[in-house]
A and B are shown apart, each in its own frame.
Chain A
Amino acid sequence: MISAQAYGENGKMKEYHYTGPVEHKFSPYAFNGGTVLAVAGEDFAIVASDTRLSEGYSIHSRDSPKCYKLTDTTVLGCSGFHGDCLTLTKIIDARLKMYKHSNNKTMTSGAIAAMLSTILYGRRFFPYYVYNIIGGLDEEGRGAVYSFDPVGSYQRDTYKAGGSASAMLQPLLDNQIGFKNMENVEEVPLTLEKAVQLVKDVFISAAERDVYTGDALEICIITKEGIREEIVPLRKD
């Protein structure tokens, strides 16, 4: 749109922006918005995402969840460019099947995380524009969260937020789950009920202030019984 600069290069007055040659460039990426969040507990993991798919100022879909179930104990949340999210999940599904057929067992969360890191780094020079967070149970049944950057760097966390409202959610989680920046606070271990309630509250706040987050919230709760889904409405405007 219009900027308030009166001067362009060389100190001359900037031309009207519609006269003169304009350079158009095709960008292979688009930003489709969305926020993903994962929390690991003693014997559970939660992966939550909003369900809004947007582009620019428009909404493509109000029902496009960003959590993808990989195995009975692992869920992947990916936000960023939707085209790359779809392709990446297809590739991961195929690789999971291949592993199952050659090793006769399901991939563990840690193994999926390591594999995803190599898949992402394989495209180091034309990256998948995706912010991934894997949530699941490790071999001992404890909750595990692995967070990635678009080119494959990853680490195991207790909680992580990714996507458009990540900068708003992460400090809040640092305070409420990590008990950071506080003193004289009783550090109680996180229960499943408290974690779910915190995730719901935190997404309500994100939907208030981030235009790309809203419509509905899908929470995937992973325990040794399996994966349970909960859908909560969020702001639609």
Chain B
Amino acid sequence: MALSCVLEPALSGFNFENSTRNIVLENGSEEGKIKAPKPMKTGTTIAGVVYKDGVVLGADTRATSDEVVADKMCAKIHYIAPNIYCCGAGTAADTEKTTEMLSSNLTIFSMNSGRNPRVVMAVNILQDMLFRYRGMIGAHLILGGVDCTGSHLYTVGPYGSMDKVPYLAMGSGNLPAMGILEDRFKANMDLEEAKSLVSDAIHAGIMSDLGSGNNIDLCVITKEGVDYIRPHKESPFNYKRQAKYKYKPGTTPVLTKTVTQVELELLDETVQMMETAGSS
């Protein structure tokens, strides 16, 4: 495994080598039809609001794989730059990798120019990439950040569309969340009002949408810095089971037992002192 990476550097971009093989496998003989594995989607509610001093982003924490909850505490608010964060809905892998690539690009830009990246730059890079891949990358993103030109909130769709708006909700739970936002959004709200609005919007999505659930994460971005509150509100549904389901040793039968001695040769010995001063 490691050897192949050393001899040939990995090709950049997407690798289509297996495409013809996959088509043959899927359209094969009637008995031999193999279905492609379905990518995990996040089935989400994400929302963002611009307030007086910056931007508040919110997201739920449930990741679903069809009808099964795959992750009860997944992080949907991704770091892009110290002053820019991005919420992602859609295919989980796509949102992760797209935001990671964007973050790397902006870090390189920061180092080259010595400036903090602006939110428009992030949006342009995303639009460029998603349009180039013609919607194949299923990433529905909400970008929020504060830079030298002010506080901004953008949405970028999987086909490369972009929208600059003061309040926004995306994901499968966007309709109930948008209902709350449309009702209570005001320009220039203060922090507590904005946090409670985003939190209530996500809560509406969590209660009304089966693809969203569990806890609520918030991210407050201002000129001074970022407050990543994870979780902002834990799920109140904490029903404890009445019995303990533990198994005594010996419950699983041991059929055979083989003991193999591994001879290890001592090559190098080092001693590292532990810092124990100050600990009880």
Contact = CB atoms under 8 A, between A and B. Distances in A.
Nearest to B176: A58
Given A197-B242, A197-B243, A237 B68 contact: no
Interface in A92-127: none
Interface stretch (B75-83, B146-154, B206-214, B269-277): B206-214
Contact of B158 (A2, A57, A198): A2
Interface of A: 1-7, 9, 11, 16, 54, 56-59, 164, 176, 181-185, 197-198, 200-201, 204-205, 208-212, 233-237
Interface stretch (B35-43, B179-187, B223-231): B35-43
A176 B251 CA distance: 13
Given A56-B210, A57-B173, A236-B237, 8 more contacts: A1-B138, A4-B39, A7-B20, A11-B20, A182-B252, A209-B68, A212-B210, A233-B239
Nearest to B64: A211
A57 B43 contact: yes
B69 interface: yes
A2 B135 contact: yes
Q: Nearest 3 A-B pairs (CB), nearest first?
A: A237-B213, A235-B237, A2-B138
14 contacts: A2-B136, A9-B27, A16-B135, A57-B43, A58-B208, A59-B208, A183-B250, A184-B248, A184-B251, A210-B69, A211-B213, A212-B67, A212-B210, A235-B239
Interface in B128-148: 134-136, 138
B246 interface: no
B116 to A, nearest CB: 33
B253 interface: yes
Contacts of B213: 211, 235, 237
Contacts of A201: 241-243, 245
B134 to A, nearest CB: 7
B211 A57 contact: yes
Nearest to B20: A11
Nearest to A5: B36
Nearest to A232: B239
B235 interface: yes
B209 A2 contact: no
Contacts of A236: 207, 237
Interface string B195-225: 0000000000011111111100000000000
Interface string B1-42: 000000000000010100110110001000000001011010
Nearest to A182: B251
A41 B253 CA distance: 28
A4 B172 contact: no
Interface of B: 14, 16, 19-20, 22-23, 27, 36, 38-39, 41, 43, 62, 64, 67-69, 72, 90-91, 134-136, 138, 158, 172-173, 206-214, 235, 237, 239, 241-243, 245, 247-248, 250-253
Most interface-central of A7, A204, A212, A237 (chain B CB within 10 A) = A237
Contacts of A237: 62, 206-207, 212-214, 235, 237
Nearest to A196: B242
Contacts of A54: 210
Contacts of B43: 57
Contacts of A1: 41, 90, 138
A208 B72 contact: yes
Given A184-B251, A198-B243, A237-B235, A2 B20 contact: no
Contact of A204 (B39, B209, B239): B239
Given A2-B135, A16-B135, A57-B209, A211 B67 contact: yes
Nearest to B206: A237
Nearest to B139: A2
Contacts of A182: 247, 251-252
B149 to A, nearest CB: 33
A56 B241 CA distance: 29
Contacts of B235: 235, 237
A135 B14 CA distance: 55
Nearest to A197: B242
Contact of B242 (A6, A184, A200): A200
A183 B237 contact: no
Nearest to A13: B134
Contacts of A56: 210
Contacts of B62: 237
Contacts of A200: 241-242
A52 to B, nearest CB: 9
Nearest to A15: B134
A177 to B, nearest CB: 13
A185 B250 CA distance: 9
A219 to B, nearest CB: 13
B136 A58 contact: no
